[in-house]
Amino acid sequence: EDQVTQSPEALRLQEGESSSLNCSYTVSGLRGLFWYRQDPGKGPEFLFTLYSAGEEKEKERLKATLTKKESFLHITAPKPEDSATYLCAVQEPERLVFGKGTKLTVNP
Amino acid sequence: GAGVSQSPSNKVTEKGKDVELRCDPISGHTALYWYRQSLGQGLEFLIYFQGNSAPDKSGLPSDRFSAERTGGSVSTLTIQRTQQEDSAVYLCASRFGGRGGRDTQYFGPGTRLTVL
């Protein structure tokens, strides 16, 4: 069965302090890797989909990259409003398999 | 347009009672999913609908759990004889494409179920 592991479990940054979140996966034939953001009490909000190694996507202060074994979510000069849990998932044929998430806190 | 909606947003019930959770997917989305998110756990897949059919219900934890979808739209997840371990946030997601598609799943806000 596909496995998705996210690290670290929690990350605390100062505003403006750039960092990266990791998502490692084992899957036979990647169909898609998804990043979501989840705020407390809300459902996951879609950020990015990556399909092949070497692919990169950007949105504001976030940049997602993909290799054959892992994906990184780079956060550049984060702001307090970037505080959330970031979820990574891989697509099995008819479902998403999620990691447990990284809880990011950005202090002003 | 409207996103995925779920009702109720919160449900508190007593052990042994039955509950029904509702999901309204994005209009035109043919695929619908139910997931469960427990404290400290990742999102766990429960069931997948394509149209009104459920090709994959392998994630349902026991025969107390069932789901249906009517008119290719609204879905209801029913939990019979609730147990305390059923307490979790139940999330619904929908996707536009057909079976095997790689397009994005969009999630609703979830129903928080508490079983006393």
What are residue A80's phi and psi, to 5 degrees? Answer: -55, -30
Contact A46/B55, CB-based, under 8 Å? no
A65 within 8 A of A76, measured Cβ to Cβ? no
Task: Reply yes or no: is the peptide bond before residue A93 cis, omega within 30 of 0.
Answer: no
Contacts across the A-B interface (CB distance below 8 Å): 57
Query: CB of B4 within 8 Å of any CB in chain A?
Result: yes
What is the pLDDT averaged over residues B82-86?
A: 97
Nearest to B23 by CA among B61, B54, B67: B67
Per-residue pLDDT at A1: 64
Mean pLDDT of chain B: 94
SS3 state at B81: coil
**Assigned CATH topology for domain B16-98:** Immunoglobulin-like (2.60.40)
Confidence (pLDDT) at A2? 64
Spatial neighbors of B66 by CB under 8 A, at least 6 apart, are B60, B77, B78, B80
Q: Which residues in chain B are closer than 8 Å to A88, comparing Cβ atoms?
A: none
SS3 string, chain A, reads CCEEEEECCEEEEECCCCEEEEEEEECCCCCCEEEEEECCCCCCEEEEEECCCCCEEEECCEEEEECCCEEEEEECCCCHHHCEEEEEEEEECCEEEECCCEEEEEEC
**Residues in B 43-82 with any Cβ partner in A closer than 8 A:** 43-45, 48, 55-56, 59
Residue in B41, B56, B110 nearest the CB of A95: B56
- Tell if the CB–CB gap between B42 and A98 is shorter than 8 Å: yes
Amino acid at A14: Q
Q: Which CATH architecture has domain A3-107?
A: Sandwich (2.60)
Cross-chain residue pair B43–A94, CB shorter than 8 Å = no
**Domain boundaries along the sequence of chain A:** 3-107
Select from A4, A96, A100 the Cβ nearest to the Cβ of B105.
Answer: A96
| B42 vs A53, more confident | A53
Q: Which residue of B has its CA nearest to A9?
A: B40
CB contact under 8 A, B42 and A101: yes
- Higher-scoring residue by pLDDT: B113, B41: B113
Instruction: Name the nearest CA neighbour of B43 among B12, B106, B84, B89.
Output: B89
Contact B39/A at CB under 8 A: no
Task: Say what the pLDDT of residue B106 is.
Answer: 96
Averaged over successive runs of 10 residues, the pLDDT of chain A (108 residues) comes to 89 98 91 96 96 95 96 98 97 91 97
| Domain limits, chain B | 16-98
The answer, yes or no, to whether residue B59 has pLDDT greater than 70, is yes
